[in-house]
Amino acid sequence: METIFMFIGGFGMFLYGMNIMGSGLQKAAGNKMKQLLGMLTNNRVLGVIVGALVTFIVQSSSATTVMIVGFVNAGLVNLSQAVGVIMGANIGTTLTAWMVAMGEWSQYLKPGFIAPMVVGVGVFLMFFSKDRRKKQIGEILVGFGMLFIGLEYMSDSMRDHRDSPVFKQAFAFLGQNPVLGILAGALVTFVVQSSSASVGILQTLAAATFLPLNAAVYIILGQNIGTCMTALLSSIGANKTAKRAAYVHLLFNLIGSVLFAIVIFVLFTFINPEIGGIQTTMTNISIVHTIFNVGSTIVLFPFANHLVRLSTKIVRGEDKPERDDEDSILRHLDERILETPSFAVENAIKEVAHMGKLAIDNTKLATEAIYERDIEKFNQVIEEEKHINLVEKLITEYLVKISNTPLNQHQQLIINNLFNTVNDIERVGDHAENIAELAEYYISKDLYMSNEAIEEMKEISDKTIETIEFAIDARESENMDLIRKVIENEELVDTLEETLRERHIKRLSQNLCDSTTGVVFLDLISNLERISDHALNIAYYVKDEIL
């Protein structure tokens, strides 16, 4: 019982340490994750690099592939771009294995020696440092130390069983039966939902008991297949293209494992049978794990397009044309992307900008309804306003979910500002609806304005729409020049609103305009001026983030 409790406790600390370290690395990476997202072009070599780096940062190839399935489902990347990232994710997971193996290289790198000191330094930085960057480094160190303490517990729990015939016979059996060895590795990885964790368990067993090389190799192959199950499960409910991304991951690891297994089987059975029975080490496992993942990428990289085509044979048919309804909005706000909060923040920015463009289009429709005396455009505005309200609700819910993920201080500021931005955009939509209702009243009452009043309305509406367009573009691009344009335009709209109000009151006093028409005009320019105020708010949020 003591052995079981120690092993489970150690494994729990190992997983928790990986999670804390990954969380700290993501926070420290911050805007660099945004740059990685920008590298996701059709250049697959860059995709491999991105996949490896992201996997090292989040400490899980499963998290990376689930995230990629979410990206594909949301339409942020295509299947061709996803292939390179999926291949790179397998390489990134080898870095954790090398960290675990460090204990074999030097007395000073052993878990029992290094872990307490690392945790102590990390906690000191987290609790006593006021610098945000140092706090993040502290979090990484605490996670790193916890990972090593977990390894020490797992290793200690198994030491008394080093010479146990049960373990020797079990591993010898797996080493002589490649299929069973592969199945064992796949099953363990599927249960713990992390190939990095399952490789860590294998390394711990190698350090504490007799583990023959042939058993270790076959189990490693199975671990790489088992990690695909997480992405496959996450693709349930996704569109066909996202399902294909999950199957590309499975095909890549399955084909690589079969090819590698054939070579290893021939080596261990016919060429050098003795080598398969030697005692393996933590470092040996890291080497095998790395050779397999890097080798599979090199061998299968030229056949990436064939993997894509094969996935289309498995998942047949085409996705239906996207409808602009709740399902399509939810598809863009894919929860799988929450696996990597930095990317989720960028996705949220894109969707908030999309909502802003909907509000801009509605404002244009509303003003055109007056100029063109088009009652149909009034109806379109009312329908579109319902859609904008739905988008606001779904984005707000998504932002709440992001705010509950590990974020650094700057990312938390962006999320807080996005909450406010969504509210401002919703208010822009309300003002567009107000303008549309003025248009409906103007048309139904058969009112007419002078040509001078119409031209003035066009002047202020054009400037207002330009201002909100600059603000939404600034939100998406974080461009300081656009923020300056918003500030300049907003001042112009304020001045213009005052000037036009005075001119129209003068026309009313000279009986050049009807009083009822005058109310429509004054309410219209007031709503436009309020829209420019909301544009200024949005610009200031972005300015606050940049500075």
Q: Using the structure block, give the residue that is written with the tokens 């060429």.
A: 271
pLDDT digits (tens, 9 = 90+) for 375-399: 999 999 999 999 999 999 999 999 9
Q: What are phi and psi of 279, to 5 degrees?
A: -70, 130
Distance CA 433, CA 437 (A): 6
**Which candidate, 382, 490, 374, 373, places its Cα nearest to that of 434?**
382
SS (H, E, C) 239-303: CHHHHHHHHHHHHHHHHHHHHHHHHHHHHHHHHCHHHHHCECCHHHHHHHHHHHHHHHHHHHHHH
Sign of CA dihedral 326, 331, 332, 333: positive
Distance CA 327, CA 391 (A): 11
Is pLDDT at 294 greater than 80 in this prediction? yes
Alpha carbons within 13 A on the beta-carbon side of 304: 21
The pTM for the full model equals 0.80
* 419-457 per-residue burial string, b: 16 or more CB within 10 A, e: under 16: bebbebbbbbbbbbbbbbbbbbbbbeeebebeeebeebb
pLDDT of residue 30: 67
pLDDT of residue 362: 95
Is pLDDT at 19 greater than 90 in this prediction? no
In sequence order, the 6+-apart residues with CB closer than 8 A to the CB of 155 are 10, 111, 204, 207, 208
pLDDT of residue 296: 94
Is pLDDT at 309 greater than 60 in this prediction? yes
**Residue pair 424/532 in contact by the 8 Å Cβ criterion:** no
**Residue pair 27/20 in contact by the 8 Å Cβ criterion:** no
When pLDDT is averaged across residues 221-237 and rounded to a whole number, the result is 87
List of domains in the chain: 2-314 (no CATH), 340-546 (1.20.58.220)
Is pLDDT at 163 greater than 70 in this prediction? no
The token duo for 542 is 């972005």
CA dist 66 → 47, 107, 227, 346, 351 (Å): 15, 38, 10, 17, 20
The token duo for 317 is 């048919």
Q: Using the structure block, give the residue that is written with the tokens 């244009």.
A: 364
Residue 168 — pLDDT band, cuts 50, 70, 90? low
* Partner residues linked to 522 by β-bridges: none
The token duo for 41 is 């072009």
Is pLDDT at 324 greater than 60 in this prediction? no
Is pLDDT at 423 greater than 90 in this prediction? yes
pLDDT digits (tens, 9 = 90+) for 471-488: 999 999 999 999 999 999
Residue type, 445: K
**Residue pair 504/513 in contact by the 8 Å Cβ criterion:** yes
Q: SS3 helix, strand, coil % of the chain, rounded to 5?
A: 85, 0, 15
pLDDT of residue 252: 94
First to last CA, the chain: 57
pLDDT of residue 111: 63
pLDDT digits (tens, 9 = 90+) for 111-161: 667 888 889 999 999 998 888 888 888 998 998 889 888 878 887 777 666
When pLDDT is averaged across residues 332-336 and rounded to a whole number, the result is 84
Over pLDDT 90: what percentage of the chain? 41
CA dist 8 → 2, 158, 259, 439 (Å): 10, 11, 34, 69
Q: Using the structure block, give the residue that is written with the tokens 């990206």.
A: 71
**Residue pair 65/246 in contact by the 8 Å Cβ criterion:** yes
Residue type, 489: N
SS (H, E, C) 411-453: HHHHHHHHHHHHHHHHHHHHHHHHHHHHHHHHHHCCCCCCHHH
**Residue pair 432/504 in contact by the 8 Å Cβ criterion:** no
pLDDT digits (tens, 9 = 90+) for 33-85: 667 766 766 678 888 988 888 888 877 788 788 888 888 888 778 888 889 89
